Structure 1
Amino acid sequence: MHAKALLTGWFSFPDKDATAGDVLALRRVEGVLRGADIDYDVAWSAGFRPAALHLDEARPAAYSHLVYVCGPLHGPQVEELHRRFAHCVRIAVGTSVPDPEDPAVTGFHRVLARDGPAAVTEPDLAAHAPVEATTPVVGVILGQDRDGAGEDDGDAAEALTRWLAQKDCARLELETRLDSRDWRLCATPGQVQSVLTRMDLVVTDRLHGLVLSLRGGVPALAVDPVAGGARVTAQADACGWPALVPAERLSDRKLDHWWHWCLTSGRVAARQIRREFLEDPEADSAAGLVAALSAPLETAGARGVRPDGPGGAEPSRGNGR
């Protein structure tokens, strides 16, 4: 039988997950094997790569070598590899060795460790892995209705997040709620804005997700979760922002269209809206507040209307956050 290796690691076990470091270490090893013209397969966790080769599907007889990549060498799952692939030459590479006498360690014919009591410390394999292509960094601001205005459509959120999971991007879940005690949340609007301005794009179904993104000059792909349109639609119109998908027209095709626009022409459009916000800071309902406070009660617009110049009033277009 010609030499063929099965590459395994923490990413191979059914109840484990894959980390970026694990996968980069694997890609470093793959590159070395390809350069040496050595044939190999990779065993993946079914939860991470459902359509790939899984460890329980790999036939031991098909391999001459078993290679364990990255991670610490310990535990019954590693020991089981030694039993199942007993006929193979077993090599561990780029691993940590907490206990050199552990059966998980001693079962390997060779251990090329990155660290351990008896090992010379080496750089992790991920450090020299092939350079990955960069992807857009996308902030995601989604939320449930918090004030009884009826803006909670679980179907829209599910469709949006299902679509988003298929996009090649770095997703970062964000929250506009402030909390001075929870380290996971921002404590000030400035902290929120500092995060948003570092995004390439924000995907949101919240009014303030849209407004704060545009305030920072960042394009927002907005979804109004309410059929027929509500506050998100009204605010997109007020800001002159076209990248809005109504709940009743939500589809992958629509989302893909605005995704592409936001990452191209939308960058310039968002920066222009930011300039308009800065250049005309009084173009909102606060501009009429002093007049409303000074006016007699019966004309102050107490029932959702506002003074609109000397000629009268018109209904306010907003309805809250």
Structure 2
Amino acid sequence: MHDDVATAVLRALRGPGRSPRRLLLTGWFSFLHGEATAGDVLAQQHMAAALNGAGIAHDTAWSPGFRPGALSLDTADPRAYDTLLFVCGPLHGPQVAALHARFGSLRRLAAGVSVVDPADPAVTGFHTVVARDGAGAPGRRDLAATAPAGPLPPVAGVVLSHGQGEYGERRRHAEVNESITGWLAGKDCARVPADTRLAADDWRLCATAEQFLALLPRFDLVVTTRLHGLVLGLRTGTPVIAVDPVAGGAKVGAQARALGWPALVTADALAPDILDHWWRWALSGAGRTAAACHSMR
């Protein structure tokens, strides 16, 4: 039975005469043209917590595209470190291999990685590899599986309209959608696009109305510019922030008033502070109770 990845790495790091002075923590999340996945970042959090617990000083190098302004591979001075640790993902390709050139003076370890070709220079450049799979050994549990994580944020279903040409020059759909999505991008939430359109030939869309009704209560709230995003969200007892995308108001506003639903924002009054107000209300006990009064579940 293998030790878990973090335990094996710490043992390698703290071998006789080997305790790092300062370590640079890297991964695919460090590459400008790489990929920062949820699993990659959780692996980073796991190893950072393990290093902190072991009293090993370290910094993390992030892709400038993912965390602008943070320490990156380009701004990290190799002279400031004596050890490099690469976590998660495949040991493959020129980006990984380039680490060995830039940080050639450092002791280099890889942990929780996949080894596809043991002879790949991306692999052989590391002094120690603690693989999660490949390398002719049984697999180890991925670092993300038991990584520490913070409180889970709310899940927002986003149901937007892009058409409705019948409103002519009163249409504000493009501006309203841009304002909503820009605002949502700054919220700590999981954003899930949803569409009221049904289709039998597109796996991304629901095929029946019942499938869409099954989706809505999985959200903590719905943000919508569609009449049926409002109506069906409330039917499932899900709080809704309804935005009428037509100047002067149209069917979304009329339906909100018909239902007695207060969380309505007009295109003319759309602003982040108003959306923030209704966001807080929708996630509060008052918002959930108000939505539950409309539920047919």
Are 1:101 and 2:119 matched, yes or no?
Answer: yes
Aligned position for 1:317: none
Query: How far 1:52 sits from its partner (Å)?
Result: 1.1
Structure 1 Cα separation of the partners of residues 178 and 95 of structure 2: 36
Aligned position for 1:153: 173
Structure 1 Cα separation of the partners of residues 270 and 34 of structure 2: 35
Compare relative contact order (CA 8 Å, sep 6+) and give the higher one, 1 or 2: 2
Q: How many residues align?
A: 276
Q: Deviations over 1:99-146 (max 9, x none)?
A: 111111010000011010323310000011014311111100012124
Structure 2 letter corresponding to 1:208 = H
Query: How far 1:185 sits from its partner (Å)?
Result: 0.7
Q: 1:221 aligns with which of 241, 245, 248?
A: 241
Aligned position for 2:294: 273
Are 1:47 and 2:71 matched, yes or no?
Answer: no
Aligned position for 2:138: 120
Regions of 4+ moved over 6 Å: none
With 131-140 and 196-205 compared, the bigger mean Cα shift is at 131-140
Q: Deviations over 1:192-220 (max 9, x none)?
A: 00000111100011111111101111110
Q: 1:182 aligns with which of 182, 202, 206?
A: 202
Structure 1 Cα separation of the partners of residues 280 and 35 of structure 2: 31
Match of 2:234, SS state, is helix
Q: Deviations over 1:198-247 (max 9, x none)?
A: 11100011111111101111110011112211111101001100001111
- Specify every segment of 5 or more residues in structure 2 that has no aligned partner in the other structure, as ranges: 1-18
Structure 2 letter corresponding to 1:24 = L
Query: How far 1:147 sits from its partner (Å)?
Result: 4.7
Query: How far 1:175 sits from its partner (Å)?
Result: 0.6
Q: 1:263 aligns with which of 283, 289, 292?
A: 283
Q: 1:75 aligns with which of 81, 93, 96?
A: 93
With 41-50 and 187-196 compared, the bigger mean Cα shift is at 41-50
Structure 2 letter corresponding to 1:40 = H
Aligned CA RMSD, in angstroms, stands at 1.5
Structure 2 letter corresponding to 1:94 = G
Q: Deviations over 1:238-288 (max 9, x none)?
A: 11000011111111110110001111111110110225xx8xxxxxxxxxx
Match of 2:156, SS state, is strand
Query: How far 1:155 sits from its partner (Å)?
Result: 1.4
Aligned position for 2:252: 232
- Specify every segment of 5 or more residues in structure 1 that has no aligned partner in the other structure, as ranges: 279-321
Aligned position for 2:10: none
Match of 1:26, SS state, is helix
